[in-house]
Structure 1
């Protein structure tokens, strides 16, 4: 895939994100990213993320403190670049493409430098926040599993895979958020797993078309569901109850994971709320459509996304505005 995906961003998304351009420019400066080539590398990661996730993720990341925002682009942009090989690549060539990409990433990690924009931004972020490179290796190992494993016998098997894929990224992001308690890692793992399991449910129909089934086989048997029924895309009473069980379990994970909000720096909490709100809105959409995840992937429309962001942001916004006014007054006093 191209590593300059700006043209993949829809015109509507570009228009909605245009007001963030100067904000993003200042974020790079406040993050200490002054080298022109490195700035371009971070922007490449941002564009990779926006091309796939759209404007909502842009506004959710905007809620991060500006000095950490570009580093979030790097972490999520790298994850998206890697994931695209698995999900969007040609089935005939994606295994070899992944091997090539993995060799480049691991070689760059050993060398401590890279000419690839995504890897260059990633390496800079890992160094800036002293993030263990083993988290990158764990993510690549898990993505390789995505190429070689298409079914999961039990929820425990699936959850180990989910931990390796998404919790490794979640722990990287946690370093940016400023953990303030030892329990923050476990709560962040739960939140990251909840988000990934949400993706699994929303992409169930598409994954089946790719030949992958992420619902545990023993739970299918427990609810009396056979794979052929899922592949037909008909929501039988048994399938509806199976999916209701999955959604309820993911909601419990969110409830536990959201405890991380009080375990990170106050300036980071709004971003966690906004990100979780967008994923939880997708669970709501699954329930609104009575668990029919097959016709089209559950995705909340932009009015509901806006509503979710506002709900997540309103409790923290007064503090954010007070801090901004205080900083403005202080800067004015210093100029005088």
Structure 2
């Protein structure tokens, strides 16, 4: 399948193909829901989405690899070295790194603004020094770089014929933010074990919760009310992103709608689990994934008959 995608995208250089293939492997292994959604894109587009994911995953693993024996200072030096090399490679338009090689190619082919790459790397750096966020606005500073820019990077690849990029971008940013907020809610316990809280501390205070309360691992009334509040706010962000789908090329819409429904399903899963996210990781079932993706695939194949903008 990967070879067919690379052939469809016109990627012929052996080293470049190997880089794209490695990014695809990272996506299939670590981003199963997202990987499923990307299969609804035309084959010629998938490698570029996979490259963006592979780059993000590689940087994130430097920070959050639980098997790593590196100290935070050592991780910071490794991440800074990687970030410097990425920026230098983007400057020269080529890379020898097995992951960055496909990123550089993707950025050049689709005219992706480099400031989004910089913002992402800056947010990854924050994870090594920041363990909590006082306000929602403070959290959004981090989320812009960790998630909103992912949506913004995707816009040119997804295409939006006849619609200016600046019209599409706010919806794409909101979708990235919604995905991230849903993950924060699902991963409260997991993040806490890494020493981090991604729910605004001001929200915790409103519901009578603090770090020590969460660390007890008991989902009581205050914790349930806190999580219900965060879910409601996340759904508001999801709703604000939805109108943007119709601005995309028809061949891209089903991919994004599927991602929307499956990531949004994380919130439903948390509710069904009675908000038990402190000692486990809830997930969307394979049955639900199939129920969403299979009908969407048929619609996506039909939509590919619409001529692309480029």
The structure with the larger Rg is: 1
**Is 2:204–2:210's contact at 8 Å kept on the other side of the alignment?**
yes
| Alignment partner of 1:86 out of 63, 69, 81 | 63
The reply to whether residue 202 of structure 1 matches residue 186 of structure 2 is yes
Runs of 4+ in 1 over 3 A off after TM superposition: 321-324
Q: Alpha-carbon deviations, 1:5-39, whole Å to 9, x = none?
A: xxxxxxxxxxxxxxxx2xx3222122110112111
The reply to whether residue 215 of structure 1 matches residue 192 of structure 2 is no
Equivalent in the alignment of 1:18: none
Q: CA deviation at 1:117?
A: 1.8
How many angstroms apart in 2 are the aligned matches of 1:323 and 1:236?
A: 49
Q: Alpha-carbon deviations, 1:57-97, whole Å to 9, x = none?
A: 33211111222111001111101111111111445132222
1:115-264 aligned within 5 A: 115-179=96-160, 180-181=163-164, 182-264=166-248
| Aligned Cα root-mean-square deviation (Å) | 1.8
| Alignment partner of 2:27 out of 49, 56, 64 | 49
Q: CA deviation at 1:301?
A: 2.5
**Is 1:74–1:121's contact at 8 Å kept on the other side of the alignment?**
yes
| Alignment partner of 2:3 out of 21, 25, 28 | 25
| Unaligned stretches of 5+ residues in structure 1 | 1-20, 328-336
Residues 133/318 of structure 1: CA separation in 2 closer, same or farther (3 Å cut) = closer
| Alignment partner of 1:75 out of 52, 57, 62 | 52
TM-score with structure 1 length normalisation?
A: 0.85
How many angstroms apart in 2 are the aligned matches of 1:304 and 1:211?
A: 32
How many angstroms apart in 1 are the aligned matches of 2:267 and 2:167?
A: 26
Query: Please, which moves more after superposition, 85-94 or 242-251?
Result: 85-94
Paired residue total? 300
Residues 203/82 of structure 1: CA separation in 2 closer, same or farther (3 Å cut) = same
**Is 2:251–2:300's contact at 8 Å kept on the other side of the alignment?**
no
Equivalent in the alignment of 2:37: 60
TM-score with structure 2 length normalisation?
A: 0.92
| Alignment partner of 2:90 out of 96, 104, 109 | 109
How many angstroms apart in 1 are the aligned matches of 2:180 and 2:34?
A: 15
Q: CA deviation at 1:123?
A: 0.4
Residues 319/73 of structure 1: CA separation in 2 closer, same or farther (3 Å cut) = closer
The reply to whether residue 271 of structure 1 matches residue 249 of structure 2 is no
SS at match of 2:95: coil
Q: CA deviation at 1:323?
A: 5.1
Q: CA deviation at 1:163?
A: 1.2
Which protein has greater RCO, CA pairs closer than 8 Å, 6+ apart? Answer: 2
SS at match of 2:99: helix
